[in-house]
Amino acid sequence: MTSSKQASIKSEIAAMPAWLRRPIGKASEISTVQRIVKQRQIHTICEEGRCPNRGECYSQKTASFLLMGPTCTRSCAFCQVDKGHAPMPLDPDEPQKVARAVELLGLRYVVLTSVARDDLSDGGASWFVKTMETIRQVNQDTQIEVLTPDFYGEIQPIKIITLAKPACYNHNIETVGRLQGPVRRGAKYNRSLRVLQLVKEIDSTIPTKSGLMLGHGETVEEVIETMKDLRNVKCDRLTIGQYMRPSLQHLPVQKYWTPEEFEELGTIASNLGFSHVRSGPLVRSSYHAAVE
């Protein structure tokens, strides 16, 4: 790494507000999950995305598994997940490996997410369902939330997963309409809204959820407008967190929103009718996912 890049990284770290510098959690809780995940050659978005809350979530018996390998077929400018080369073939043992990890860790609530796999005929929808079924065979009481790609708005993949009855169907809109192009390459604002709308049309009893990452240059008015758009498609739950630049190759942070601003946005979201809201600088889409 060149001295100029090292200087840039140090400068960004120094500019990061104190409220974003929190302990990562108990080393024992993190290492236990990391050991089990590594032994079974599976992936979690907690680790791949370096989530700041993973120690807390592990201690509360929740985790988010990343299905279908660690390589994404898209190249969103904010995301740390691996991309830029061909994804690996599916591991036929992955559903069983994930189910066994859920059992060993005693997880009560599991989030199944995935990289975008546009190379697969159904975008990986049937793989979600197979993994859900395998978990339920050995862990009947574990609730399963799904966090899916948009499947390019195709109805059938969304229907396949919805009919498998997840505890919650999550699809992140990530940012406001104006910033979709530079932030979410390959995704579209209205398409993401349509995913959430389709879930409700297929099964209105399944809670839907979406998430926003602030710090790309959005305004308060745009965030509120996005919340309203989500409520118009009957989205039930919302997470709002701060974007933190993973590397110099990713989009720079335009603004660090304060905890007070997040609290205000959370209040607005609740007043708009979201039944479950998590809003804070370190909130991520699976943070406190289980709704008691």
Cα dist. 56→62, 98, 119, 212 in Å? 9, 20, 34, 21
| Residue 217 included in any domain | no
Domains: count for the chain? 1
CA-to-CA distance for 12 and 187, rounded, in angstroms? Answer: 28
Q: Which tokens hold the place of 272?
A: 């708009």
| Residue 64 included in any domain | yes
**Structural domain boundaries, residue 40:** 24-166
CA-to-CA distance for 222 and 244, rounded, in angstroms? Answer: 20
Q: How many residues are there in the chain?
A: 292
The answer to whether residue 286 scores a pLDDT higher than 80 is: no
pLDDT tens for 90-126 read 999 999 999 998 888 888 899 999 877 888 989 999 9
pLDDT tens for 187-208 read 899 999 999 999 999 999 999 9
| Residue 289 included in any domain | no
Cα–Cα nearest to 145, from 213, 237, 43: 237
| Residue 46 included in any domain | yes
Cβ neighbours of residue 40 under 8 Å, at least 6 residues apart? Answer: 97, 98, 100, 101
275 in helix, strand or coil? coil
Read off the DSSP letter of residue 139: -
Enclosing H/E stretch for 159? helix 155-162
Q: Which tokens hold the place of 232?
A: 């118009």
pLDDT bracket for residue 267 (50, 70, 90): very high
pLDDT tens for 33-79 read 666 666 666 666 555 555 666 666 666 666 788 898 776 656 555 55
CA-to-CA distance for 283 and 212, rounded, in angstroms? Answer: 10
| Residue 237 included in any domain | no
| Residue 73 included in any domain | yes
| Residue 279 included in any domain | no
Q: What are phi and psi of 135, to 5 degrees?
A: -60, -45
Q: Which tokens hold the place of 55?
A: 């120690």
Indicate if the alpha-carbon torsion angle 17, 19, 20, 23 is positive or negative. positive
| Residue 230 included in any domain | no
